[in-house]
Amino acid sequence: MIPATLKRTNEWKSKDIVFCLTHDAESQRVWLGGSDFGVYEFDTSSEKPERQAFEGEGHTSYVTGMVRIGQVLVTCSYDGRLCWWDVDERKLIRRIDGHGRWARAIVASPDESTLYTVADDMLCKVWDAKSGEPLQTLQEHAPQTPHHFPSMLYAVAISPDGQWLATGDRVGHTAIWNTDSHDKVGELETPVMYTWDPRARRHSIGGIRSLAFSPDSKELAVGGIGKIGNIDHLGGPARLEVFDWQSGTRRLELEDNKKKGLIEQIVWSPGKEWILTAGGDNNGFLTFYDADSGELLHQDGQNAHIHEISAGPDFQQIFVAAHEKLTRWTMLTEKPVAETQDGVDSGAKPTAPDGK
């Protein structure tokens, strides 16, 4: 399936920032977390959906990562905690102190037996997904940047075959790990994604914000932002690099100066035809690239920074966490046509938002 266009079919406003989400394609239920420290269910099949809060003393800061394993949600937060939630009961099951500093992201193994989290303590921790028991700690990323400031560990991804794990930090360093032995088996460098201002502000910006293995697990896509002139703003080009990670060979190096900002998420199509990137600065983007050539296939905008997306198994619907709103997009493989008085007009306009 190669996208011809996207159509924004729904938009619902949020009083807080939505940082993470996942959804069930069959029931059209969405689960989300954000800046008010809460976890919510949002049933988009309802005519007028309302957020339903999960009960329990869970997080005390921003909810920044979320995975669903069957009928359980697991979330991570800037408070360093991990929380397990019952989806049907909408109640807290378990809460543990997972990291000493902000927990940035969480992923589950393909068989859903294991969880991996990364945080600003520069550790990747391995957990039993069912019991919450710690299994291993992976430590390799430097705690300070080359300019002697605290670094950050933003991104984590697991390969579709479950054999490899990748972690990416603020200065553009990626480590690849064997999930059986927990040994480091490779590393990649993307230094352009790290900008340091030595004069005006004396701090840095950027970093690896997203990682994704290809469907055959042989390639690794790394997302972030290119060099920035004013580091008080995300005014640099969205940057994507694709590697044969075992040899360390960079195959694609793409920058987008039209839709600027951070690439917050990368998704490969199941057949490896295209790569979808999502992110932004003050505004957001959904950009499809040909996975072989790097050619731009399609691009759409969003008038808010995109933090995360959740796509269904057939990619026909994409739910988007876009700062203070939740949107639903439909992916079309043919250009839509709309009848007019004169005949046929290519390029049907998106419907008006029907949410709150």
Confidence of residue 218 (pLDDT cuts 50, 70, 90): very high
**Which residues, including other chains, have CB under 8 Å from residue 302's CB and lie 6 or more apart?**
8, 280, 283, 284, 285, 286, 320, 322, 327
pLDDT band for position 349 (cuts 50, 70, 90) = very low
Looking at per-residue pLDDT, the higher value among 230 and 209 belongs to: 209
Q: What phi and psi values does residue 354 have, to the nearest 5 degrees? A: -110, 5
- Provide the pLDDT for residue 353: 29
State what percent of residues in the chain have pLDDT above 90.
Answer: 76
Mean pLDDT check: name the lowest of 101-110, 152-161, 166-175, 323-332.
323-332
pLDDT digits (tens, 9 = 90+) for 264-279: 999 999 999 999 999 9
Most confident of 157-166, 224-233, 331-340: 157-166
pLDDT of residue 321: 94
Going by pLDDT thresholds of 50, 70 and 90, the confidence category of residue 3 is confident
Residue range 335-344: mean pLDDT, rounded: 43
d(CA 144, CA 150): 5
Predicted TM-score (pTM) of the model is 0.91
Instruction: Provide mean pLDDT across the span 175-182.
Output: 98
Q: Average pLDDT, whole number, for the chain?
A: 89
Q: How confident is the model at residue 352 (pLDDT cuts 50, 70, 90)?
A: very low
pLDDT digit string, tens, across residues 31-73: 999 999 999 999 999 988 999 999 999 999 999 999 999 999 9
Burial 164-195 (b: 16+ CB within 10 A, else e): bbbbbbbbbbbbbbebeeeeeebebbbebbbb
Query: Which of 133-137, 178-182, 206-210, 246-250 bottoms out in mean pLDDT, i.e. has the lowest?
Result: 206-210
Q: How far is CA 47 from CA 238, 313, 349, in A?
A: 36, 24, 22
Q: How far apart are CA 178 and CA 167, in angstroms?
A: 12
User: Would the pLDDT of 178 be above 90?
Assistant: yes
DSSP-derived 3-state class of residue 151: coil
Residue 95 near residue 72 (C-beta atoms within 8 A): no
* Best CATH choice for the domain 5-12+140-346 from the list 3.40.50.1370, 2.130.10.10, 3.40.190.10, 3.40.250.10: 2.130.10.10
> Confidence band (pLDDT; 50, 70, 90) for 317?
very high
pLDDT surpasses 50 at 339: no
Q: What is the mean pLDDT of residues 186-196?
A: 92
- A 10 A CB-CB count for 287 gives 23
Residue 202 pLDDT: 56
Residue of higher predicted confidence among 203 and 276: 276
Beta strand ranges found along 70-122 (DSSP E): 72-77, 81-86, 91-97, 103-108, 114-119
- Reported as a pLDDT band with limits 50, 70 and 90, residue 169 is very high
Q: Are 348 and 337 in contact (CB under 8 A)?
A: yes
Confidence (pLDDT) at 235: 76
pLDDT confidence of residue 233: 66
User: Is the pLDDT score of 238 beyond 90?
Assistant: yes
Q: Which two tokens stand for residue 180?
A: 């059986």
Q: What is the pLDDT of residue 343?
A: 30
> Higher confidence at residue 335 or residue 84?
84
